Amino acid sequence: MKKIILLILSIYTVLLVNAQGIDTLLVKANDLYVNGKYQEATNMYENILRLEYESPVVYFNLGNAYYKQNVISHAILNYEKAKLLNPNDEDIEYNLQLTNRLVVDKIETLPVFFVTTWIRSFKNLFSSDIWAIVSMAAFILALIFISIYLYSRNLGFKKMAFWLGFFIIVISLISFIFSYQQKQKILGGETAIVMNPSVTVKSSPDASGTDLFVIHEGTKIWIEDEVSGWNEIKLSDGSKGWLKTDDVEVI
């Protein structure tokens, strides 16, 4: 038992030291940014991410540092990554929209059914982790009402417990689905940002394909398929074609 306690304490100490080290790096990076040393701040934020520490704050600050250096594609990429982790943050959304105005391509977005828009907005109220917590809490609460339904002798209580339990189970399932979808957005790599100044979209996944149109750095694309170093991409207006994988970076 003593060895187990020592092991737990050792793991906790390592995690604490790592967390303190990252906090120290983050403070230094923020100080560099405040003092106008944007390139040094960028390097520091990138080093923090290389330590496999991801947070919307780091991505947001890194996006700001790139924006100050007028590196638009990298700024948008990191704002988008911050938005994935914290989809309802107003500061992230504002800076992302502000930076998107500097993108050369002004691509119209296909109209979306209002119910779909409402569901997306509601889903983006919370991150994947928060939706998972809501799902688990609702499931536990539903179990309590189911127990009341099964063991209560009062008919009124049984009816109330049944319908409340059913309603809360539905909430738990919806929250679980939202959590899963938010996580898939982070892990799935379905979207990317064009990183090169300009790229030509081809009709097929090879250099000899017909030139369809040109898009520029900072443009957001959706990845449909991947074949031998080429990505089939789609734009927000529905246009499709093929780009080299090296021309984009997955969000």
- Check residue 113 and give its pLDDT: 73
For residue 105, is it within any domain?
no
Assess whether 64 and 146 both reside in one domain.
no
> Is there a domain that residue 73 lies in?
yes
Domain edge (last residue) among 173, 188, 203: 188
| Structural domain that includes position 221 | 191-250
Q: pLDDT value at position 112?
A: 65
How distant is the alpha carbon of residue 34 from its chain centre? 26
Whether residues 178 and 244 fall in one domain? no
Per-residue pLDDT, 188 = 65
Domain boundary among 74, 100, 126: 100
State residue 20's pLDDT score.
Answer: 54
**What pLDDT is recorded for position 119?**
85
Say yes or no: 138 and 171 in one domain: yes
CATH of the domain at 76: 1.25.40.10
Residue 233 and residue 206 in one domain:
yes
**One domain, residues 6 and 96:** yes
**pLDDT for residue 13:** 32
* List of the chain residues with pLDDT < 50: 1-17
Per-residue pLDDT of 87-116, as tens digits, reads 889 999 999 999 999 999 988 876 767 777
Number of domains comprising the chain = 3
pLDDT computed for residue 54 by the predictor = 84
